[in-house]
Amino acid sequence: MRVRIFTFLLVVALVTGLVTAALPSGMVVAQGITHSECKEDLTGMTIPFYTFGDLSGPYAPITQPLAAGFSDALKYFNGMGGICGAQIELVQEDSGGDREQSLSIYQRFSTADPKPLLLLLYASADSELLRERVAEDEIPVFLFAGSTIGLYGEKADTPGWIYAGIPLYTDQFGAFCKWVASAWTTDLKREGAPVIGHLSWEGSFGRATETTETTAYCKAQGVEVVGGEYFLPTATDVTAQINNLVSKGANILYTTTLASGTALIAKDLTTLGLEEQVLLAGANWVLDSSVGLLGQRTLKPSGMPSTDGVLGLLPYTWWDEKHPGTALVQEQFTANNRPPTARGIAYLAGFGAIDTYIELIIQTVNRVGKDNLTGAEVKKTLDGFKYEALGGVFSYDWTNGVRDVRMTRIGQLGYLRGADGAPVIVEVGGQKMLVPVIAPVTTESVPVPDLKPGGADVPK
């Protein structure tokens, strides 16, 4: 067994060496995905990739596909030569969604020898909790969430050591307000003025969107925000909350929840017969296949599922779009026999994160050499980092003190239709299902408004 591993490693090393030597500028990993050229050969090194999160707690539905994405991406990229020949090793721990445990895991990671070069997190609350400490410990964090406090601090004036892979939740909401104001009578063919009510999960994730700044910005765009209702993720029914918001005049519900929350809202809207009267929209997590899979049991009078037509923010390229990056992820997804339920944003994000990590380390090593590779140096690279992860599936530009993604599109959840316009039905595990499809509504990415406290786009 051991001999086999060594042979394998030798072959990998040789192949890597050959590939590295054969490519003059830039390293093409797959069609459309290019990493910077390696100036140093790191063969023989093992570079750890640290992440922790809620593998077994309430956010587990998003974590497990993410973990699957990590493990498949590592298998793929390590097979393609890793980071200039160095193998990437996944160090992952389970916090169970408990903040105490997050703190203790972080403490264990931050005292590892050598220190982590980068830490990947995706819980807003974890990032906010650890913001000060990662700066002291000089460990940059790649966060897949849009927490203003985590990225820019309590007064939103100090960009810290945390870099986000999506726009801030406040800015996402602002971008939605701006779009909905312009599309209300035209694309959406609605009457009157758009009025938004927030309906999200209790906790720092769900409550991130409704701030005085976003409300003021939306008002300036001609969209009124009538307040928010925050329900527990265990809720069986949100009809009372919907009724409250609708009786205040809301004709759009904006939600910051994960799949089960969004599906529940969509279902209860249909139950109350409000599916035509009230639009459902939400942050980027709302546009996920799991929402489409979970929410297709309740049908609108039109015969389509209650989640059909949910709007959301789409700051990346989705699986269903033709793109070499998504094609690669799809190929690996199929090759690893992942279940269709895992085909969502989390798996894609996991893949993108590993790709970004590789590029980040290559650039840092090229600048300072492999012996000076530290978190502080990685942070310096991040401060001027511009990268099209997976060839443009995710587009990162963290120059000029920006810590999040500043461009987005608006997308919509729908269901795959055949040539005749009828929905396509597939059979999974003996159950007939519709196939959720997420497609952009606006083809061009637009900049998101800056709605941090004191941000540039906040109305004075």
Partner 1 sequence: MDFLILGKPGYLVLQALVTGLLVGGVYALIALGIVIINKASGVFNFAHGFMMLIGALIFWSLFQSTGLSPVLVFLFSGVVLTVLSTGVRFPANWKREQRIAVIAVLWGLTGATLIQTDHLLIRALVGTALGSALMGLVIERLTIRPLIGQPLFTSVMMTLAVGQVLLGATQLTWGSVERGLPVFATTNALGLSQAFAPIRISGVLGGMLVIKTELLIAFVLAILTFVAFVLFFNYTTLGLSMRATAESQDLAQAVGLRVRAILAVAWAIAGVLAALAGILHGASTGISITMAGLALRAFPAVLLGGLESIGGAVVGGLVIGVVEKLGTAYFGSDVGEQLMPFVILMIVLIIRPTGLFGEKRIERI
Partner 2 sequence: MSANIRPSGVFDTTYVQDMTINRTRFDLILSWGFLFVVLLIPLLTREGPFGVDIVPLGAVGTVERIAILMIAVQGLNLLVGYTGQVSLGQAAFMAVGAYSTTVLMRQGMTFWLALPIGALLTGLVGLIFGLPSLRVKGFYLAMATLAAQFIIPWLLRNPLAPLTNGSNPLPVPRTTIGEFVITGAAQYYTLILISLAAMIIARNIIRTRAGRAFVAIRDNDLAAELLGINVFAYKLRAFFVCAVFAGLAGGLLAFESRSVTPDQFDLQSSIELLAMLIIGGAGISQAPLLGVGFVLILREGAIPSLTPLLNDFLPRLLPFIDSVNISASLAPALFGITIILFLIIEPRGLAYRWEIFKISWKLRPFSY
Contacts with partner 1 by CB under 8 A lie at 55-58, 60-61, 63-64, 202, 229-241, 243-244, 247, 259-260, 263-264, 267, 271-273, 290, 293-299, 303, 339, 341-342, 422-423, 425, 429-434
Q: Which of 324, 440, 308, 459 is nearest to 391 (CA)?
A: 324
Non-local CB neighbours of 129 within 8 Å, separated by 6+ positions: 99, 102, 103
Residue placing its CB nearer to partner 1 in the complex, 343 or 452: 343
Of 19-27, 123-131, 373-381, 448-456, which segment contacts partner 2 by CB under 8 A?
123-131
Dist. CA 326–CA 293, nearest whole Å: 20
Length of the chain: 460
Instruction: Select from 16, 43, 51, 63 the one that contacts partner 2 (CB under 8 A).
Output: 63
The least CB distance from residue 425 to partner 1, in Å, is 6
State the Cα–Cα distance between residues 188 and 193, nearest whole angstrom: 12
Give one word for 401, left, alpha or beta, with left for phi > 0 and alpha for psi -120 to 50.
Answer: left
Q: Which range in 180-188, 201-209, 270-278, 327-335 contacts partner 2 by CB under 8 A?
A: 201-209
The partner in contact with residue 229, picked from partner 2, partner 1, none with C-beta cut-offs of 5 to 8 angstroms by kind, is partner 1
Buried b or exposed e, range 360-373, using 16+ CB within 10 angstroms: bbbbbbbebebeeb
Considering the complex, state which of residue 34 and residue 64 has its C-beta at the smaller distance from partner 1: 64
Total binding residues for partner 2 by CB under 8 A? 39
Q: Least distance (Å) from partner 2 to the CB of residue 348?
A: 16
114 binds partner 2 (CB under 8 A): no
CB-wise, 149 or 458, nearer to partner 2? 149
Residue 442 partner contact from partner 2, partner 1, none using kind-dependent CB cut-offs of 5 to 8 Å = none
Residue 105 binding: pick among partner 2, partner 1, none (C-beta 5-8 Å cut-off by kind): partner 2
Strand ranges for 103-251 from DSSP E: 119-121, 141-143, 162-164, 195-201, 224-231
Q: Are 147 and 140 in contact (CB under 8 A)?
A: no
CA atoms within 13 A on the CB side of 432: 3
Closer to partner 2 by CB, 111 or 431: give it. 111
- Which residues sit opposite 415 in a β-bridge? 436
Binds 43: which of partner 2, partner 1, none (CB < 5-8 Å by kind): none
Quote helix, strand, coil % in the chain, to nearest 5: 40, 20, 40
113's contact among partner 1, partner 2, none, with CB below 5 to 8 A by partner kind, is: partner 2
Task: Let me know: does 39 contact 365? Beta carbons within 8 Å.
Answer: yes
DSSP for residue 83: B
- Angle (CA) 238-242-245 rounded to 5° is 145
Which entry of partner 2, partner 1, none binds 248, CB below 5 to 8 A by partner kind?
A: none
| Closest by Cα among 251, 254, 203, 210 to 231 | 203
Dihedrals phi, psi of 410, to nearest 5 degrees: -100, 135
Contact 452, 168 (CB under 8 A): yes
Among 48, 203, 222, 423, binds partner 2 (CB under 8 A): 203
State in angstroms the smallest separation of the CB of 323 from partner 2. 25
Site string for partner 2, 91-110 (x = CB under 8 A): -xxx-x-xxxx-xxx-xx--
Q: Which stretch binds partner 2 (CB under 8 A): 90-98, 219-227, 294-302, 310-318?
A: 90-98
Among partner 1, partner 2, none, what does residue 133 contact (CB within 5–8 Å per kind)? partner 2
Query: Footprint of partner 2 on residues 207-246 (CB under 8 A)?
Result: 207-208
What DSSP assignment string belongs to 279-344?
EEEESGGGS-HHHHHHT-SSB-TTSSBTTTT-EEEE-S--TTS--HHHHHHHHHHHHTT--GGG-S
Q: State the nearest-atom distance from the C-beta of 227 to partner 1, in Å.
A: 8
Name which of 18 and 112 has its Cβ closer to partner 2. Answer: 112
108 binds, among partner 2, partner 1, none (CB under 5 to 8 A by kind): partner 2
141-143 vs 425-428, strand pairing mode:
unpaired
Between residue 127 and residue 156, which ones bind partner 2 under the rule CB under 8 A?
128-133, 149, 154
Peptide bond into 114 cis (omega under 30): yes
Comparison of 386 and 432: residue with beta carbon closer to partner 1: 432
How many other CB atoms are found less than 10 A from the CB of residue 40? 15
**Minimum distance of partner 2 from residue 284's CB (angstroms):** 20
Q: Contact residues for partner 2 (CB under 8 A)?
A: 55-56, 60, 63-64, 67-68, 71, 92-94, 96, 98-101, 103-105, 107-108, 111-113, 125, 128-133, 149, 154, 202-204, 206-208
